[in-house]
Chains A and B, each alone.
Chain A
């Protein structure tokens, strides 16, 4: 079975500052890893995903995440955040070959002016 841990429930950060949202997973088999973002009163949107290949993956809005197999981590980073990045971010894992996602409890990112 897989599990996901997001240690930070809330992360406040000032606008234009860098941010890192942490995600650790556990699994006895190889996995796919995902970050989803949820804006207020909206559904979850796929932000980025790691399937295979390069361990550094990027999104179109400046976020990136790095798959670290030895540390079983998939932390999300952005070098300079905007007010519009305020949202809840969920890390998810699925065993390769399955369709079932296990989500973390989420990290609420609040960008301050």
Chain B
């Protein structure tokens, strides 16, 4: 089966600019996650979707980050305006409903550098 697709792979922007990331999960996976991985740290969950509804966005900085999953398939994560501390790898993952049992499948990530 095809994996989780993410684009772009790399992005460099100046602070205060906006940026968007795209994710296409594995076909049939109802649950989609966006994680932020800052250098030297483990991934941190930003937002979790179940189909096209938000299940958990408690750690999403909503003043600047937004995400949507229209039609319950692919998803976009946006940052506006970006700050220097947003430099990180943004990972998308998907799973069947019972992720606690099966584990996630991660994409290769988008490396964002804010200068």
Question: Hey, what's the 0/1 contact readout for A39-80 against B, CB within 8 Å counting as 1?
Answer: 001111110010100000000000000000000000000000
Shortest Cβ distance from residue B49 to the other chain A in the assembled complex, whole angstroms: 11
Known contacts: A43-B91, A43-B107, A43-B108. The answer to whether A103 contacts B42 by CB under 8 A is yes
B104 at the interface (CB under 8 A from A): yes
* Chain B residues within 8 Å of A, Cβ to Cβ: 4, 31, 40-45, 48, 55-56, 91, 93, 95, 98-101, 103-109
- Decide yes or no whether A94 CB sits under 8 A from chain B: yes
**B109 x A43 contact (CB < 8 A):** yes
With a CB–CB cut-off of 8 A, which chain A residues contact B104? 44, 46, 101
17 more A-B residue pairs beyond the given contacts A44-B43, A92-B42, A101-B45, with a C-beta to C-beta distance below 8 A: A43-B91, A43-B108, A46-B105, A90-B42, A90-B43, A94-B99, A96-B100, A97-B100, A99-B31, A99-B98, A99-B99, A101-B99, A101-B104, A103-B42, A103-B43, A106-B41, A106-B42
List 16 A-B pairs, Cβ < 8 Å: A6-B42, A32-B100, A41-B108, A43-B91, A43-B106, A44-B91, A51-B101, A90-B43, A95-B100, A98-B100, A100-B45, A101-B104, A103-B43, A105-B41, A105-B42, A106-B41
